[in-house]
Amino acid sequence: MVAFIGLLLPLLVGSVWAEESEESEETTELRSQWGKEYGDYNFAGELYNHVGSTMADDQDFVVSPLGVSQALGLLLFAVGPKSAAEIDAVLYPKKANASGLAPRNFLQTGELTYATVAALRPDIYIDPIFLKDAADLDSYVYKTHFAQRDVQPFSNFLNLKSRGKIDVGLQELLGDYNPANRLLFFNVLDFTAEFRYGFQIENRLLVARRTLAWHGYIPELRTRVLGLGLKGSSALLLILLPIRKANIEMVESRLRTVDVRKIRSRLNITLMNISLPKVESSKLLNLKEPLREAGIITVFNKTTADLSAFKTELPLDDVIVYTKMNIFSQGINGRSSNTTNSDQISQLEVDSLLAFVQEEKPVQFEALRPFIYAVLDSRHVFLIGRHFPNL
């Protein structure tokens, strides 16, 4: 409550400024500031663009930078110096702590479920040191013949290791899981949270009136940004909505030089009317080509592969990641978005301070055209993707 009181004054000024800023032009001064103060080549932005380059221009997708960094972090312990240098350059461009790679305790609170697996044929040697390193990273080694009959046991393995929290129907998703493979690295990550203040459903849209949210204009991205607090979590859901004089392609290219984790500090708590589409997206991504484009080449090359942990000259077949994003009236993932009236919750608890704030005119935010979203905290980008509303 004390923090809320302290934000009342910025709210009164910020709400007026935010409405005027959507169509603001990017001045020479702002552009200079972008290059010096905000320029930050970062893993999440680079990964988003490399994955997006393999998609149709109007195709939804979602990927977990944290999940990919987990898979690449495990791969680091399996390769020789040349591949290790390439992976390190992608995870930590310009020596920045861009991936948030760490073995455990990603959230103080909230629900994050993940599994990283090195899947390989039974006849391939495994260095015992690699087995120990994998265990230290909460990762697993799984032996398989890569036949379709092995998919269900692999799915069961993931379900067991996640204590029943990971069940993604791999039979339909793993089309490349076949006997031609010898070595795959795989990651699945699930982030689940409830909104601090929920939404009503009106005309198939998620609607919240006179609710508090983070909001601001980021000129170097040419976007308005909405930040939705998540219950029991230090993370936010950010919606990056291009201004009407920009487009999503322009924003995407600029994500390479703007670390989305730093955006929150530039937003203000604002009284708002919000309209969002429901988002239902899940992607199993084969990252071999995006990672090659990013600069990880040696380990995928038949003549240069240096998988020293397995004493093999065979290349890595692929890095596969599975991620989902379901934005519905009560939160992110977790439950079906087919929400009934009984599921709708009040947007805000009424108290005397809120009654004062509600006399102000709310800022309108309607994400009814293509936008980018991210779930993040100050250290990690858990999910990032894009959505093309079909209204």
Q: What is the pLDDT of residues 63-82, one digit of tens each?
A: 999 999 999 999 999 999 99
Asked whether residue 338 carries a pLDDT value surpassing 50, the answer given is no
The residue among 187, 99, 84 whose CA lies nearest residue 139 is 187
Asked if residues 373 and 235 have their Cβ atoms less than 8 Å apart, the reply is no
Where do you find CATH 3.30.497.10 in the chain? 62-192+281-325
Partners of residue 364 on adjacent β-strands: 273
Asked whether the beta carbons of 188 and 180 are under 8 A apart, the reply is no
pLDDT tens per residue across span 238-296: 999 999 888 999 999 999 989 999 999 999 999 999 999 999 998 889 999 999 999 99
Of 80, 76, 181, residue with least CA distance to 122:
181
- CATH architecture of residue range(s) 2-42+194-279+335-387: Roll (2.30)
Fold of 62-192+281-325: Antithrombin; Chain I, domain 2 (3.30.497)
Strand-strand pairing, 200-202 and 363-366: unpaired
Place of tokens 């893993």: 43
Q: Cα separation of 219 and 227, whole Å?
A: 16
